[in-house]
Structure 1
Amino acid sequence: MADHDMFDNNASITPADLPALRERIDTLDSEILKLISERAHCAQQVAQVKTDSDPQATFYRPEREAQVLRRIMALNKGPLDDEEMARLFREIMSACLALERPVKVAYLGPEGTFTQQAALKHFGDSAVSLPMAAIDEVFREVEAGAAHFGVVPVENSTEGIVNSTLDTFMDASLRICGEVVLRIHHHLLVSNNTRRDKVSRIYSHPQSLAQCRKWLDAHYPNAERVPVSSNAEAARLIKSEWHSAAIAGDMAAKRYELEKVAEKIEDRPDNSTRFLIIGHHDTPISEDDKTSIVVAMRNQPGALHDLLEPFHRHKIDLTRVETRPSRTGVWNYVFFIDFKGHRDDPQVAAVLEEITLRAAELKVLGSYPVGVL
């Protein structure tokens, strides 16, 4: 019987088998190490070919990484679940990419925010993450070339759209090249100086306070709720206050060495936030894509029907439609629309051509892979 078949029947394993199992694990670890090193060498060769042909070549390819992760998840037979296996490969890919050229990623900071968590989920721990104080600063950092990509929040399942992100897209020249959906868990955190029975002030981002409203009403009805710029800032503030607590996530708790008084206090168990990856380049088709556009329509009866009708006729699935007041004053409203498909798909191209004829202005923000992780 081959070594890999020796212990397939778990019921027959006894403590006497442990030395052989550990020896088998050591052998497998050596094989895994060898294969990861071979993959890294291949990545270096890819980088050399790209650099020789184009010194300004793009090393990070969103559509390629999405295809690799989808393939891994399709091939996975367990016992690790598909997402866990994909996360392992994400880190391998991140480390290999860092050998080619480290990716610099700007995100809405400070350190410990959910946006940083989303950035690391998408790019892996080998990416260089750069905290920014505001969403428009993330855009400026990428536009100036100081960062290759940016990560910004766009919508929360409980509190809805992040208006400042949509408004910044109106004037930006950047492209959306990816998305991340992050499951959001909020915890009530205290420092080692906190007197838990005397908590009279709770800091957090306004959206987080709103997402935990019912829990706070039930457990801390008399505590002052103080909105701050981010959950990470809330975590930082309570380090020096004995009567304060913060609502934040795991990353902030770890970064600022805080203790969890209560875990997962969000009012809705399915609370999640969607983040967008922004960069300079259009992303080729990955076979499972989404497109985002912003459209200004002329102020006339039936304008919204005229905008949406081509999608219905071409059977293109709309995933989000948002309306924002026009900041220029030329048009009353603009529409932000997400839909399934890539701008290079024939059906999508036909719809965009029709909308161009009907709209006062159309801007394609980007076509990009649907979030894998």
Structure 2
Amino acid sequence: MQRLNELRIEIDNIDEQIIKLINERYRHVIEVGHIKKKTSHEIYVPEREKALIARLDKLNNGPMTPQALRAIYREIMSGAISLEKPLRIGFFGPEASFTHLAALGKFGHCATYVPKTSISDVFSDVEAERIDYGVVPIENSTEGAINHTLDMLINSSVKVCAEINMRIHHNLLAKCRKTQIKKVYSHAQVLGQCRSWIQENLPGVETIESSSSTKASRVASEEKYSAAISSTLAAEMYKLNIIADNIEDNADNTTRFLVLGRQEPRQTGDDKTSICYAIKDRVGALYDSLLPFKNEKVTLTMIESRPSKRKNWEYYFFLDFHGHHEDPAPQKALEKLREMCQFVRILGSYPRSRDIL
């Protein structure tokens, strides 16, 4: 017992030093904030965040895991930014939605979060400066692209300034027993991601689409013999029991989110770029539009198409690739692309995310 007490005293002393050092760090942050205001610099700087996390990873010799270190510093940085200027972060969906969780994972608990009922509202609020940044889903590894987000990117003036990758775990929530469930509510994408599990474990149970998984949780909390597929945060919010966890069909089920802002980050040396373009209607046009990237050895990570909605069978193409659009190889590829396209728009270059929340 004596050794236990000694260790606890040492831990208390270390905690005192940690508090002193964090406050010393914050005093420097306040001074940085004053300089930023004078020079009209952005408060949140994605490229600085990436460099800081990379440096911390190199300094960490354990036993603390990289995930634990990043989680701790996420909140330290969130508190630091709030001292400079409390950020207003808009996100698509209600509280406890997966987009809300992704935003929390990116900006921490010291930001102010503003739920938005539509993806278009997130875009318009960033444009109108009613919020500092917006978070919207762009693609899921199981169900594919989020078409509404793609459509909004075509004409919006916002810039993609960061990306978030989050592992999506779905849970069956209810107040009744599993054998009593007659209806299951959730968002269409979520139901699709759990289709096989539902067929195997809830045969004959009616599935009903909801505008969000959080709204589904509220319905399940009010309607007898109903269940929802949603997050653990929604279970806490609506006092539902977790009947089954991790029920997604794909264990690696991951959703990618975009952070929308009004300014583009600088190059970091490990970036990603998103573009949108329209090609002339001719044989081999799409193939030809991809050749410049192959010739310049630029790695493509996503390609999607959407109808232009101006003319039948006319499409916009969305492309993601490794590198910043100001890097030499992507720059050359984009120059060639512009020569053959009616329209090319750089949606944003931003630090490439290698983490999965």
Normalising TM by the smaller chain, what interval?
over 0.9
> Is the partner of 2:13 in helix, strand or coil?
helix
Shift of 1:139: 0.7
1:60 aligned residue (35, 44, 50): 44
Give the one of 174, 179, 185 matched to 1:190. 174
CA distance in 2, matches of 1:315, 1:61: 29
Q: Kindly provide the amino acid, as one letter, of the partner of residue 21 in structure 1.
A: L
Runs of 4 or more, structure 1, over 6 Å off, are none
C-alpha deviation, 1:341, in angstroms: 0.2
Q: Which amino acid in the other structure matches residue 125 of structure 1? A: H
- The equivalent residue for 2:58 is 74
The residue aligned with 1:349 is: 331
Taking the aligned partners of 1:21 and 1:152, their CA distance within structure 2 comes to 46
**How far apart are the structure 2 equivalents of 1:24 and 1:16?**
12
Aligned to 1:43: 29
1:359 equivalent to 2:345? Answer no
Equivalent residue for 1:21? 7
Equivalent residue for 2:110, pick from 100, 123, 126: 126
Tell me the distance in 2 between the aligned counterparts of 1:285 and 1:331: 37
Question: For 1:72-120, what per-residue CA distance to the aligned partner results, in whole angstroms no more than 9, with x for missing partners?
Answer: 1222112121122111101100001001101111101211100000001
Question: 1:196 offset after TM fit, Å?
Answer: 4.5
CA-based RMSD: 1.3
Between the aligned partners of 2:349 and 2:143, the Cα distance in structure 1 is 25
The counterpart of 1:34, out of the listed 20, 44, 51, is 20
Q: CA deviation at 1:330?
A: 8.2
Contact 1:154 1:165 in 2 (8 A): yes
TM-score w.r.t. length of structure 1: 0.92
What are the equivalent positions in structure 2 for 1:226-245 lying under 5 Å apart? Answer: 226-245=208-227
| Within-5 A mapping of 1:297-312 | 297-312=279-294
- On the 8 A contact 1:152/1:276 being kept in 2, the answer is yes
1:291 alignment partner in structure 2: 273
Task: Give the alignment's TM-score, normalised by structure 2.
Answer: 0.97
The answer to whether the Cα contact below 8 Å between 1:299 and 1:331 also exists between their aligned partners in 2 is: no
Superposed displacement of residue 195, structure 1:
5.5
* Residue 102 of structure 1 pairs with residue 77 of structure 2: no
Alignment map for 1:191-270 (pairs within 5 Å): 191=175, 194=176, 196-270=178-252
**1:344 to 1:331, Cα distance in 2 relative to 1, 3 A:** farther
* C-alpha distance in structure 2 between counterparts of 1:364 and 1:331, whole Å: 23
Structure 2 unaligned spans of 5+? none
Q: Deviations over 1:186-222 (max 9, x none)?
A: 000013xx35532101000011111111111111111
How much does 1:69 deviate? 1.1
Aligned residue for 1:360, secondary structure, equals: strand
Bigger CA drift: 37-46 or 346-355? 346-355
Q: CA deviation at 1:142?
A: 1.0
Q: Note if 1:147 corresponds to 2:131.
A: yes
Bigger Cα Rg: 1
Give the partner amino acid of 1:100: E
What letter corresponds to residue 217 of structure 1 in structure 2?
Answer: Q
- 8 Å contact 2:171–2:247 — kept in the other structure? yes
Contact 2:221–2:239 (Cα < 8 Å) also in 1? no
Partner residue of 2:160 out of 161, 176, 186: 176
